[in-house]
Amino acid sequence: MLPLNIILFIYSTIITFIYLLYHTTLMAVICVYFYRVYVWTDDQGKKLKCSAPLYFDYALSYIQDLLTDEDVFPTKAGSVFPAGFVFLVQKVFLLLFRTLAHIYWSHYRETLALGLHPHLNTLFTHLTHFCQQHSLLEPEDTEPLQDLITALGQYILIHSAGGFEGLEDESWFLKKCQKCSHKLLLYV
């Protein structure tokens, strides 16, 4: 699944960058101050409190395991998909969406520094359009990022029509994105 591979690439690059940047400095102490607790529900229904990196490791590993499970995603002709297939696909896309929401909220500066933001924005736009087209996410799932979704959609329309050049693109987009940042604090 291509979006999973791209998300894994972006997330692992950011984590490596953060580790290299903060590992040998006192900034690590400051990072602890902003530590958030996430809750992952395991296969037995047990809720596990964990850090963001561990939560997203669980999420992306869960998705990878699901995608390679022949009982869930059969590859042989004539095979039957499981009864809860649509629910599982919706869960996969919700986890992917939450991973991207976390990257936007907690690591967007790093994506800018690494030059990954065009890839992140393109991936996010494709993911949200695909989810909207196939009703894979509920409106309440995407609401915290709705301003970003709208801004990216407008940006793509203007840019594809030959509008904005150079730095104006980035400053216009960043101003639009600032509106949604406060909503992300309560998300995930």
d(CA 163, CA 83): 47
| Section 8-21 average pLDDT | 68
pLDDT at 128: 92
Environment class of 164 (CB within 10 Å of its CB; exposed 0-12, middle 13-18, buried 19+) = middle
d(CA 24, CA 103): 23
Tell me the pTM: 0.74
Fold of 2-184: Butyryl-CoA Dehydrogenase, subunit A; domain 3 (1.20.140)
Segments making up each domain of the chain, as ranges: 2-184
d(CA 71, CA 15): 33
2 neighbors 119 (Cβ within 8 angstroms): no
Ligand-binding annotation for 102, yes or no, is yes
Ligand-binding annotation for 159, yes or no, is no
pLDDT digits (tens, 9 = 90+) for 142-179: 988 888 888 887 766 555 555 444 434 555 555 555 55
pLDDT digits (tens, 9 = 90+) for 59-94: 989 999 999 999 999 999 999 999 999 999 999 999
Using DSSP's 3-state secondary structure scheme, residue 187 falls into: coil
pLDDT at 153: 79
